[in-house]
């Protein structure tokens, strides 16, 4: 091993990197810090490689086993660890010989270590005895450390990346190599945004609105399935007053992405006018529009209209009931304290039958869950990552299911949507740097809008607080995957995750964040690679047999050709000898 260097395991073979960095899948640079991972490395790698590398079982491999350094010693003290360590030693003892064969295979690990290892295990007939050791991950580190150490001692290679070796050792189970990030959901997750939007007061509003349209165009290009557009009338930041007008323009610029009102504040509008606008949009978009409804979020909006906030949720339910009747073609005569309809009907019926998909905003109160359960609508959990909203997720879903059962309905998880803020970059450090562009204006807006909201204690950095509390993802695709897994643990499967659109970063870096999500996060949760993975597993688990047959066939052809040529030469020589004149 070259002094002052570390190992890069990406792609085929091993490459040497300068001392200042150790790279992972997404190019993250890790600087070593004291802790259990460093100690573990020192038992495995030469001293020259310990300082630049930070061992971290990377979430790109298997999200279920992200853990912190502080948990190592606690796990290792447990009885489970001791039991797991014994089981792993028994299961992997047979692997010691193949590891030595591998590192002496050829001059170096010049092709994928996964292929070489899988081939060596199959060749030595040790593969059927190897079992997956996921439940004892930390305990396995000691065993894999020994194996890596043996490999290093018996090889000309001075070092082997620990994370790569771990992936190799845990990749095969009963002759089926497993790829990283493997996941099969019963509900493939859709991806989208929730565009309030949030534009600081120092930005040109005209340009900001056109950037919002450009953003939706980019999302359509990247394969995002949904964009939900907000309605607000005050406070200066959330400057779209009519989501319907915005959707009409966005629909002309896009091809596939579905566009939803996020949400129409029903108490602010006559139900007949709301129904007619949505039906028209349904026709204009040929069924791509979705109807998101709510009571109204900003108290200042209600105050300007003279609406008592205490009445908003009841009015939402009243208006929704009338709109459903109009969607169904009924003639409505009804008077309340806020609307008066006389022989009212929608002179167009919806393009989508029986009507566009409807979703109800849900935050902390049970009103969204009650409405969704009564009518069988979807839910837009607009505060899913906030502390109160996160805590209310399962409660509101349970309420929706209870109300649905009372009305002879069943809630559909594929129509459950969770919302949370995200900004991704290739490294955590770069993501933090990117959001310095505008996140503080966003935080100030919400702090002043809601003075009663909790603030970080003890002078804690507000960005750190957002990340550590789970309110936002500011990091890498792996951090985004971890957030989705956290939400799944709390809520169960859900149909869509909507990134809360914001201006934390410059527009080009914002688009890059959406690109990283589409490339590295979305495929994990939409079962995009299930069939590819199955094909890969089948091919690799039979690679030894298949390649053996192919080589035998090639060898037989070579032998056949040689025999044919020899026979032909013999025949030619015999004929020549026959024609040669006798002396």
pLDDT reading at 513 higher than 90:
yes
Q: Which helix (H) or strand (E) holds 192?
A: strand 190-195
pTM of the model as a whole: 0.69
Question: Average pLDDT for residues 544-556, to the nearest whole number?
Answer: 90
Query: Lowest mean pLDDT: which of 18-22, 209-213, 259-263, 301-305?
Result: 18-22
Residues 227, 250: contact at Cβ < 8 Å?
yes
- Does 133 or 497 have the greater pLDDT score? 497
pLDDT reading at 546 higher than 80:
yes
Closest to 224 measured CA to CA, from 197, 255, 198, 180:
255
Per-residue pLDDT band at 304 (split at 50, 70, 90): very high
Closest to 47 measured CA to CA, from 6, 88, 89, 96:
6
Residue 450: what pLDDT?
Answer: 85
pLDDT reading at 1 higher than 90:
no
Distance between CA 525 and CA 515 in Å, rounded?
Answer: 16
Per-residue pLDDT band at 158 (split at 50, 70, 90): very low
Question: Average pLDDT for residues 32-52, to the nearest whole number?
Answer: 39
DSSP structural state of residue 134: G
Residues 409, 460: contact at Cβ < 8 Å?
no
Distance between CA 250 and CA 52 in Å, rounded?
Answer: 48
pLDDT reading at 398 higher than 90:
yes
Partnered with residue 341 across adjacent β-strands are 334
Residue 161: what pLDDT?
Answer: 40
Distance between CA 331 and CA 318 in Å, rounded?
Answer: 16
Residue 182: what pLDDT?
Answer: 52
> Could you give the angle at the alpha carbon of 300 between the alpha carbons of 298 and 306, nearest 5°?
115
Query: Domain 190-524: what homologous superfamily?
Result: Luciferase-like domain (3.20.20.30)
Question: Average pLDDT for residues 271-293, to the nearest whole number?
Answer: 98
Distance between CA 426 and CA 230 in Å, rounded?
Answer: 30
Residue 143: what pLDDT?
Answer: 42
Residues 241, 232: contact at Cβ < 8 Å?
yes
| Tokens 């129904």 found at | 275
Q: What is the average pLDDT value for the chain, to the nearest integer?
A: 76
- Taking 3-state DSSP, the helix, strand and coil percentages for the chain, each rounded to the nearest 5, stand at 50, 10, 35
Domain ranges of the chain: 6-177, 190-524, 542-573
Closest to 332 measured CA to CA, from 378, 273, 245:
273
Per-residue pLDDT band at 183 (split at 50, 70, 90): low
Distance between CA 242 and CA 210 in Å, rounded?
Answer: 15
> Residue 579 has which token pair?
């024609």
- Span 451-496, pLDDT tens digits: 767 676 677 888 999 999 999 999 999 999 999 999 999 999 999 9
Per-residue pLDDT band at 224 (split at 50, 70, 90): very high
Residue 6: what pLDDT?
Answer: 35
> Residue 513 has which token pair?
């964040």
Residue 451: what pLDDT?
Answer: 79
pLDDT reading at 96 higher than 80:
no
pLDDT reading at 129 higher than 90:
no
The SS3 call for residue 291 is: strand
DSSP structural state of residue 20: T
Tell how far CA 363 is from the center of its chain. Answer: 22
Strands 190-195 and 226-229: parallel
């Amino acid at each position: 091993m070259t002094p002052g260097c570390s190992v890069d395991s990406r792609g085929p073979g091993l490459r040497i990197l300068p001392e200042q960095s150790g790279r992972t899948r997404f190019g993250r640079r890790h600087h070593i810090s004291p802790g259990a991972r460093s100690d573990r490395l020192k038992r495995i790698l030469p001293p020259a490689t310990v300082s630049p590398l930070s061992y971290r079982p990377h979430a790109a491999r298997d999200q279920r086993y992200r853990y912190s350094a502080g948990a190592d010693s606690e796990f290792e003290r447990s009885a489970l660890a001791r039991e797991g360590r014994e089981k792993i030693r028994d299961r992997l003892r047979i692997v010691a010989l193949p590891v030595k064969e591998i590192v002496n295979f050829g001059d170096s690990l010049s092709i994928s270590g996964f292929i070489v290892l899988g081939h060596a295990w199959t060749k030595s007939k040790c593969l059927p005895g190897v079992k997956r050791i996921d439940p004892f991950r930390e305990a396995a580190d000691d065993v894999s450390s020994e194996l890596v150490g043996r490999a290093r001692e018996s090889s000309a290679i001075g070092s082997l990346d620990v994370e790569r070796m771990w992936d190799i050792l845990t990749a095969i189970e009963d002759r089926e190599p497993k790829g990283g990030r493997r996941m099969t959901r019963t509900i493939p997750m859709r991806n989208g945004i929730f565009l309030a939007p949030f534009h600081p007061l120092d930005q040109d509003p005209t340009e900001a609105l056109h950037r919002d349209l450009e953003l939706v165009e980019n999302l359509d290009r990247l394969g995002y399935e949904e964009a939900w557009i907000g309605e607000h009338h005050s406070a200066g930041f959330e400057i779209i007053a009519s989501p319907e007008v915005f959707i009409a323009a966005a629909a002309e610029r896009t091809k596939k992405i579905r566009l939803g009102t996020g949400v129409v504040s029903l108490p602010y509008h006559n139900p007949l006018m709301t129904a007619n606008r949505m039906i028209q949009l349904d026709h204009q978009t040929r069924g791509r529009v979705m109807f998101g409804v709510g009571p109204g979020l900003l108290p200042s909006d209600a105050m300007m209209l003279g609406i008592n906030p205490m009445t908003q949720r009841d009015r939402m339910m009243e208006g929704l009931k009338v709109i459903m009747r109009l969607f169904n073609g009924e003639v409505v005569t009804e008077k309340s304290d806020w609307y008066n309809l006389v022989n009212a009907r929608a002179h167009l019926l919806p393009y989508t039958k029986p009507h566009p998909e409807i979703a109800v905003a849900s935050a902390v109160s049970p009103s969204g869950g009650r409405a969704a359960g009564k009518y069988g609508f979807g839910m837009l959990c607009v505060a899913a990552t906030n502390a109160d909203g996160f805590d209310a997720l399962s409660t509101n879903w349970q309420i929706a299911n209870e109300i649905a059962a009372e009305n002879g309905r069943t809630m559909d998880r594929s129509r459950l949507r969770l919302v949370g803020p995200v900004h991704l970059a290739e490294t955590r450090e770069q993501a933090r740097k990117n959001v310095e562009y505008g996140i503080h204006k966003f935080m100030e807006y919400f702090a002043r809008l809601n003075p009663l909201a909790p603030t970080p204690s003890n002078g804690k950095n507000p960005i750190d607080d957002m990340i550590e509390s789970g309110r936002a993802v500011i990091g890498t695709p792996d951090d985004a995957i971890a957030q989705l897994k956290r939400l799944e643990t709390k809520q169960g499967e859900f149909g869509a995750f909507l990134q809360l659109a914001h201006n934390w970063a410059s527009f080009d870096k914002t688009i890059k964040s959406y690109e990283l999500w589409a490339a590295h996060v979305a495929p994990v949760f939409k079962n995009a690679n299930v069939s590819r993975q199955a094909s890969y597993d089948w091919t690799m688990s039979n690679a030894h047999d298949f390649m053996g047959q192919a080589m035998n066939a090639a060898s037989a052809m070579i032998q056949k050709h040689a025999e044919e040529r020899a026979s032909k030469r013999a025949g030619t020589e015999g004929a020549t000898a026959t024609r040669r004149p006798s002396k």
